[in-house]
Structure formats: C-alpha cells, structure tokens
Amino acid sequence: MNYYSLNHKSPNVSFEEAVVNGLAPDRGLYFPENVTPLPKEFIDNIGEYSNEEIAYQAIKQFVGDEIPKEVLQEIIKETINFEFPVVAIEENIGTLELFHGPTMAFKDVGARFMARCLGYFNLDKDQQVTVLVATSGDTGGAVANGFLGVKGVDVVILYPSGKVSDIQEKQLTTLGQNITALEVDGVFDDCQDMVKTAFLDADIQRTLTSANSINIARWLPQMFYFFFAYKQVYKQHKEVVFSVPSGNFGNICAGIMAQKLGLPIKHFIASTNINDTVPAFLQSGKYTPKPSKATISNAMDVGNPSNFIRIQELFNNDIKLLKAAFSSFSFSDEETRTAMKNIYTNATYIADPHGAVGYLGLKEYGLQNEFGIFLETAHPVKFLDVVEEVLNVSVEIPPQIVSVIDKQKEAIQINSYQELKDFLNA
C-alpha cells in the first residue's frame, strides 16, 4: 500500500515512510491510494470472529507486506488487550466505552499500535526518532504511555497550559524516561501549529514524526472500535448510527473508513462543543477555521480540525455526498451539563462531558428505528471536577489513575515556536 499527500505536491510513499514522516513534505496529510472493501461474508458473520481477527482483517491492506503477518498479529494483540463494551443507556441508544485501556482514553489503541509499528521499523536501526505531538488532553497521556521505553524513540508532547484536566496533565508529565512534556502558553491550535511547522523546518536537527491522528498509524487503528461495536449490536437487525465526540476529527474519520471497508453504518454524527468549525461548514459550504475556545469538554477544543480534509477526501470532496452520510451539531457547556444529568437520572450512568456531547448528537439527529451509539471516549475520572460538580457524586479512582495522581509534574514551559526549535536542537 502506498500513500499520497492530500496536498498532491509530494511523492507517494510506503506505509513505513508515512509512519516515520508523519506529515508529507508539502504539509499534506497522507491518505491510502486504494481502499478495498472486505468480503460481505466476513461482515455478515462478524460475530464469529475474535476482536483480534477483526482488527487484523481491517488493517492488513493498509500495512501491506511491510510488517510480517505474525508480527502484525502480535502488535494487534498487544494493542487491544482490553474490553470495548457497548453499554445500554436507553431502548435505542448505547454507549461504546473506549476507556478500558492503560490511560483510560480512546487514544490508547492508536498510540499503542503506532508505538509498536515504529518499534518494529527501528528494530535493526541505530536511528533515533523524535515523536512530536500536540495534545488537547488525552492524546498526550496515551502517547506517553504507548511509547514509554520504546527503543530509538524520544517523545516530546506539547500541551496548552491550564487547558487540560489535572489528571490528564499528570498522565503526560510524570513518566520521565524518554518522555518530555512542553507546557505551551496558548491553546491547542497553537500547539498543533508548532508541531506542523517543526516538521517542515530544515534547520531542526532531529528526525521527527507525529503521533497525533494526522499520522496514519495513529488514525487508522481507530477503525477497530466501530467493528467491535457493530459486532455487539448487529443481531438486533437495526440500522446503526454513530455519534462521535469530535475535536480533531480523527476518530470519526476512522469510522467512515470502516464504512468504506463495508461496515453497514447508516449515518455518522460529529458532535462538537462550541468549537463549531465543521457544523458551520455544513451550513454555509465555506470552511472557516476559528480560534479554539475553552470548554468543559476540553479534548474537543479544536478550531481547525486536521482530519476533516481526510473526511472530505473520503466523499470525493462532494458536500452533497458528505451531507447524505454525515451530520455535525454543536452544543454548549450548559447543554452538556444537562445531558450529563439526564443520562445519570435515566440510566444511572456517569458520562464524561465528551460522551454527553455525543449523546446530544443522537438526540439532535432524531433516531427513528435505528440503534444509536455514542462514543464514551474517556473515563469520567479524567474530568473529576466537572463530573462531581454536575452530578453531585463521588467517582471511584481506578488503579490506572491512582498510579500517577500523586507523582510530581515535570514540564518545560515555552511561549513560542522558536523556543520549541531551540529545545529540539539543544
């Protein structure tokens, strides 16, 4: 499988080159040359396969022969060695829990898969690679955990000061070893812009790659969730609608790729907070990035979502095709708090703010005879202050969080791209 740049001004590359490069030289995101649907028989009988078998079938064409079958199967086994349950909320609504991994966020899967791919590619090389990543919350902790101790890889994480939760900050600033956290005076979009600029800066004397969802090895494995969810509900014989809390739009983009592989998903809803660049685009037809605004669902505080260009590519840049299969709605913090209370009152279920936004997307869409699934992308403990204040409940601290909560934060403060560049060249 080869990959091309969505800016169409760089040479096509292999899977390995796309993973190591992260971003094409023309600043474009990489995209697979071909997408071949899986056999209908496989989809129709998905309940007969293990999650590991499903994940292998979904990802193998994108990796090709660059990682041997046995190695790829072992990477998958290590990547998804936890549960992905669909939990009933209402008669026609369930939530797909994606927080049962080591950092209790959906990004564990992509981070672990990418770390193991990069580890394989570096196995017999002396080259040192620096993974440079921006985070609005959960990416940093997942990447830090996934790459901790990986041979030949240094990790540098940029995060916006004061705009991630305390637990999210601890998860990305307390591990040490090959992990360094840079605390940026700004918002997530500032962090993301610095990362993109660094990739194309010829004066930086390191080999850089990204572990944001702009990297194909972080983005594509997120397809697995949608297959796992469908496997659990397909015997209800209802059409399935997914509502995905969306920030950088990598997760929902991976779901659309699963649909292109043949997964029979009726509709996708990108549920956002007040950072409504994509909902506004669907209304006006004009894509106008905006400065991001801080909300209680901070992992979605993104004003210029990188992966939306991939979604447009999946629909041949045809807004009519896009609108037929894809909706996007924006919700305020007040609406999010109300949804959290309603979910708890009606189902005795504690949803984090991001999951609550996903739930609101299903309500706005208006389910008829379909079964709606909203993604619960992080454990509510990661947003403890908000959850306990809104619901007046105490959330038990899971072992994954206990292990970092009392550790000492270690971060380097930076205020400009030049400071990032100086750090990387130091």
What are the residue numbers of the active site?
A: 107
Question: How far is C-alpha 388 from the geometric centre of its chain's CA atoms?
Answer: 25
- Adjacent-strand bridge partners of 114: none
Q: What angle do CA 400, 338, 86 make, to 5 degrees?
A: 45
Cα 108 from Cα 141, distance rounded (Å): 9
Three-state secondary structure along the chain?
CEEEECCCCCCCEEHHHHHHHCCCCCCCCEEECCCCCCCHHHHHCHHHCCHHHHHHHHHHHHHCCCCCHHHHHHHHHHHCCCCCCEEEEECCEEEEECCCCCCCECHHHHHHHHHHHHHHHCCCCCCCEEEEEECCCHHHHHHHHHHCCCCCEEEEEEEECCCCCHHHHHHHHCCCCCEEEEEECCCHHHHHHHHHHHHCCCCCCCEEEECCCCCHHHHHHHHHHHHHHHHHHHHHCCCEEEEEECCCCHHHHHHHHHHHCCCCEEEEEEEECCCCHHHHHHHHCCCCCCCCCCCCCHHHCCCCCCCHHHHHHHCCCCHHHHHHHEEEEECCHHHHHHHHHHHHHHHCCCCCHHHHHHHHHHHHHCCCCCEEEEEECECHHHHHHHHHHHHCCCCCCCHHHHHHHCCCCCCEEECCHHHHHHHHHC
